[in-house]
Amino acid sequence: MKHYIGFATAGSIMTMIFLAISNYLTTPDTIWFIYPCLLLLLWPTTMYVVIRKNYKSYSVFCSLMFISLLVFENYKDSPDVPW
């Protein structure tokens, strides 16, 4: 199962890099690669949690990711008015 986690991690990292590069080459004024990168980050994390059965830390990690996405959206769309 460790090979699957390594494959998931390597595949996610390569895809995130590809998305970041293609975002900056095609539309540098619009940041859109963050949304699929969050989902790509969850894939190896979920596999790791299933093996370790550490569900509490997984829920904290996912909650922090979601909160950071909301903070990023707030800063990007309306930096003068915090939600």
Tell me what pLDDT residue 82 has: 81
Tell me what pLDDT residue 50 has: 87
Say if residue 83's pLDDT is above 80: no
pTM: 0.80
- How far apart, in whole angstroms, are the C-alpha atoms of residue 58 and residue 48? 9
Half-sphere exposure at residue 6, Cβ-oriented, CA atoms within 13 angstroms: 3
Say if residue 12's pLDDT is above 90: yes
Say if residue 16's pLDDT is above 90: yes
